[in-house]
Amino acid sequence: MSSLPIVPSPLQQSLDCVRDLIRTVPDWPKPGVMFRDITPLLQDPAAFRSLIDLMVYRHMRQRIDVVVGIDARGFILGSALAYALNVGFVPVRKKGKLPHQTVAQSYELEYGNDTVELHIDAVKPGQRVLLVDDLVATGGTMVAAIKLLQQLGGNVVEALAIVDLPELGGSKLIAKTETPFFSLCQFAGD
């Protein structure tokens, strides 16, 4: 008796495609760091479309009011996602890059501190927000963005990333904010 081969679902094939196109660059930006580069994923039209489709499929029934993308690769993902979900897009920028009155949140990095900002009118109280970035490592930037959105009265429905590096603790830090977090794939190490 023969058995049929197990064929991966289109969803699993899309997830595998996303993960396979993330390039690992050893020792960048400093020795010992394994940098996860999404550039090849963005350069492949079919893979980029699959990536956005996966994100849209996950969120299309969640009544999202606005997508917020974190400087800078979150802008690429967030803009495409906002377009596909037919909602507005808001950028979380590094300090000093926004021209209007802002709210700011500082956070710690492995090598110092940084600050991100939002316009004071970027999100209205009660709006359902989807927060997007490419990768979560230590989680500082994502948590700072969550705090800014909460300060403005936004309801962060989910923090979303392509890649999670769980060993660096960022997803655990996000969990402490009681914000749901989802990543499309994980990589071991840093």
- To the query of whether residue 63 is one of the catalytic residues in this protein, the response is no
36, 73, 93, 117: the active-site residue: 73
C-alpha closest to that of 57 among 18, 93, 7, 91: 18
- To the query of whether residue 167 is one of the catalytic residues in this protein, the response is no
Strands lying side by side in the sheet with 88-94: 102-109, 112-119, 88-94, 66-70, 128-136, 155-164, 181-186
Q: Are 178 and 150 in contact (CB under 8 A)?
A: no
Question: What is the C-alpha to C-alpha distance for residues 102 and 135, in angstroms, rounded to an integer?
Answer: 25
Backbone angles phi, psi at 69, to 5 degrees: -110, 140
49, 108, 110, 167: the active-site residue: 110
* Residues tagged active-site: 73, 110
